[in-house]
A and B are shown apart, each in its own frame.
Chain A
């Protein structure tokens, strides 16, 4: 005959249990590792029909603990069987590891066995052990349950006809009668006796075995238990100790036991789920009346013996909570609006912000909104009293004592907004063409250039957000040489320019047109625009709302570019596309899932109007022409130094000077048509 196999208990922990354990550890236990009583509960097993496969899935044979498990007067949820346990929390992970698990286990098994013999009571049959170590700093809980069960030797066997529906043995009326009596019992009966005779079917607690079955023939005696297993051929764990109890106390009459696995908590279900089987003790017990050995440590999810770890950091750690929330908000966009949106492509883009002023602050905030995780600031100045009202990452206190370095301060503030961000700030002044480098500063300038080169190399997108024209030249050259995405934003009083630099000429596929950079439309090289200017000319004097508009536009341009299948090579939308005609945008082959990827946007706040502009690359450009890039790659800092020191160097290198001369000559020979008065944007 086959051996009876029991479904072990599996622990089911409610989240509130960990909160209670935390409170208990902090407020009550502190450093104590004394054993404490704990309570849990189980109820009838449940199986569900899987909607897809139609298969019946037996859910775990659960022993559940919750927030009330440490209560002195524990009350199991309605319809559940309360069980007692022993709880021991260790102070360190080492103590937890080193604990003599076998001794702890045997102590509990001994307790159960003694209780059976001394009291003839079933109250401790499902007694359990729980050992824990709570790593409260990391919100990690190590724990291990044991559900001691006495091993019967030889093992119990099931009669030939196996486990059957209870209805094979009991009429529906009998089962209904059991159900009614079970529920009318003052306290829930985990184990009970069933007797069928001429008076019908009646039940009684197992403790009254001798009297209740006194005049009942063995064929009408049934032992029943509330079965937490839903598996049709495996009874639940509590039956093991019930059988051990019966064999210990009534060895003469229990070599054959008729067992009813009670699984019908609710009556409204159309079919009875309880199971019935006849068990044979399979021979004389070999341990001669002593305590049988016990098993029952819970296995981990890999099926091995060992503790489990509940890592609650994702729900408890505020930083991680923020992390999830940031992503969730973005992911929601994908649910309905843009299923094809590749958020990771945006959030994984490392962004270098050159300039931590008005534009830099707003660009950083908008990047954060997109979930960008790496934001690096470069700025050479300190926070001044005029900054905080326009530059949202700074506060009044930052201006005191000469002001904090802007780049570092802005990075710190980003971390305050969202601790998960990887933000850094670098105090660095970007050398500019037409601003000669005194010989004493050459070493410093060289170091600055190298640092900028390294920073640009480490990032994917470079934002030019400085307040002068010529400071954009160096990063334009380095960015183009290294094939980075370069985005540029510049402010006038009520106008702005937002653009993306085109890809480097040598990387553009044959036949493709190349988009220009900031300097491509210039026929003069960048030079000193700062010296000899009045205050209002030096500072960015703009309408306050302009910077956030330009900054957001820049970031959104990056987002659209990243979503475009061609990325940095995305062509500009044809000039005749009317951006107001937005219905066709997403179908347009030039667009990304986010819409068009324009080359340049000029915004006119006075008219509340944006204009698309496409500027082709210029082969004599001082910023991105191959001549400049190749010279830079060949000569490195030497070339830079010439550009900084000699205003005539770049025009000579690119041939702009010749063009200028030609232009001057042409100018003299042409009569201008004065009517052509278009804006020269």
Chain B
């Protein structure tokens, strides 16, 4: 568990560690691109945020009913041999690492919206690259199933961002501390400074979060 001031120290040291040049790898991406935000008026309520790019993991435009305006289609056409069809739809994920005062651990908050600016619903959310496909392995029969029965996957919930007050999704932090501490106990080295320990703590936390969602940038 972390206190709020340890959380802030950990985040700032973590950002400093990972903003320098590091090799390009999916695992490293989880740790990159974060920046520190202060609460607009209250000191000490800061959080980390970043924007990540995602795409539809399973979705074909031809079969999905998208809101279109059939009657609005234009009669004119543009003859243009010099353009291609557009590439895959870009989804943007706004991600936050916020301190959970209740559980005294960081909590992962996020939103995903499509290119029209529409925040995705739960059923769409699970079809984006933010979620691992294996999350559905044994729950194919139901519409919702983000977890394999055996995994200690944190529950996904909907709630307001604790600092910004905007609607978000978050991974429930109730099981985080146990998992992180378990791993930290294995990793622990006596020669770590307090700051190094906190950074490792946060990195381990990201690793746990990474079992649930794809933390690519």
Contact = CB atoms under 8 A, between A and B. Distances in A.
Contacts of B162: none
Interface residues of A, number: 76
Nearest to A271: B24
A310 B118 contact: yes
A14 B113 contact: yes
Contact of A335 (B57, B132, B144): B144
B90 A62 contact: yes
A592 to B, nearest CB: 16
Interface stretch (A293-301, A378-386, A484-492, A647-655): A293-301
Most chain B beta carbons < 10 A, residue from A6, A48, A61 = A48
Interface string A302-315: 11111111111011
A57 B53 CA distance: 12
Interface string B144-170: 111101000101111000000001000
Given A268-B24, A306-B69, A328-B122, A231 B87 contact: yes
Given A59-B87, A332-B155, A306 B74 contact: yes
B178 interface: no
B133 A52 contact: yes
B102 interface: no
A310 B115 CA distance: 10
Contacts of A609: none
Given A14-B113, A51-B214, A315-B119, A60 B68 contact: no
Contact of A307 (B69, B77, B87, B113): B69
A530 interface: no
Interface string B52-81: 010101000100001111011110111111
A565 interface: no
A335 B145 contact: yes
B147 A335 contact: yes
Interface string B182-217: 000000000000000000000000000000001010
A336 B73 contact: no
A74 interface: no
Contacts of A301: 61, 66, 68, 89
Contacts of A7: 83-84, 86-87
A92 to B, nearest CB: 13
Interface in A346-390: none
A314 B133 CA distance: 26
A61 B116 contact: no
B147 A336 contact: yes
A278 interface: no
A324 interface: yes
Given A295-B80, A306-B74, A328-B122, A58 B87 contact: yes
A5 B85 CA distance: 9
Given A12-B90, A14-B113, A3 B129 contact: no
B87 A60 contact: yes
A60 B72 contact: no
Nearest to A233: B84
B56 to A, nearest CB: 10
B74 A101 contact: yes
B13 to A, nearest CB: 19
Interface in A54-87: 57-62
B22 interface: yes
Contacts of A427: none
Contacts of A17: 117
A43 to B, nearest CB: 10
Contact of B82 (A16, A156, A231, A311): A156
A334 interface: yes
Nearest to A155: B82
Contact of A3 (B23, B66, B82, B90): B82
Nearest to A149: B83
A142 interface: yes
Interface in A106-161: 142, 149, 151-152, 155-156
A97 interface: yes
B69 A308 contact: yes
A247 interface: no
A312 B147 contact: no
B142 interface: yes
B155 A302 contact: no
A570 interface: no
Interface in A1-21: 3-8, 10-18
B179 interface: no
B92 interface: yes
Contacts of A6: 82-84
Given A14-B117, A60-B90, A310-B117, A151 B72 contact: no
B50 to A, nearest CB: 12
A648 B71 CA distance: 69
Given A62-B90, A295-B78, A305-B74, A8 B118 contact: no
A339 interface: yes
A311 B118 contact: yes
Contacts of B116: 13, 308, 310
A234 interface: yes
B24 A15 contact: no
Interface in A476-496: none
Contacts of A304: 73
Contacts of A332: 155, 157
Given A60-B115, A101-B76, A306-B69, A328 B87 contact: no
A562 to B, nearest CB: 16
A60 B78 contact: no
Nearest to B62: A302
A11 B86 CA distance: 10
B145 A270 contact: no
B17 interface: no
A46 B53 contact: yes
Contact of A334 (B21, B79, B145): B145
A15 B122 contact: no
B149 A336 contact: yes
Contact of A152 (B67, B82, B156): B82
A145 B60 CA distance: 23
B41 interface: no
Contact of B72 (A102, A142, A270, A340): A142
B53 A335 contact: no
Nearest to A146: B78
Given A5-B83, A10-B86, A310-B118, A50 B113 contact: no
B139 interface: yes
A300 B70 CA distance: 10
A57 B88 contact: yes
Nearest to A302: B68
Contacts of A564: none
Which 10 residue pairs are nearest across A and B when measured between Cβ atoms?
Answer: A13-B117, A306-B73, A310-B116, A295-B78, A60-B90, A268-B21, A295-B80, A269-B24, A15-B117, A59-B90
27 contacts: A3-B82, A5-B83, A5-B84, A6-B83, A7-B84, A8-B84, A15-B111, A15-B119, A51-B132, A51-B133, A52-B57, A59-B53, A60-B115, A97-B71, A102-B76, A302-B61, A302-B66, A306-B72, A309-B68, A310-B117, A314-B121, A315-B118, A315-B167, A325-B158, A331-B144, A335-B145, A339-B138
Given A270-B23, A309-B67, A339-B138, 6 more contacts: A7-B86, A52-B133, A58-B87, A334-B145, A335-B145, A339-B149
Interface of A: 3-8, 10-18, 46, 48-52, 57-62, 96-97, 101-102, 142, 149, 151-152, 155-156, 229-231, 234, 237, 240, 267-270, 295-297, 299-312, 314-315, 324-325, 328, 331-332, 334-336, 339-340
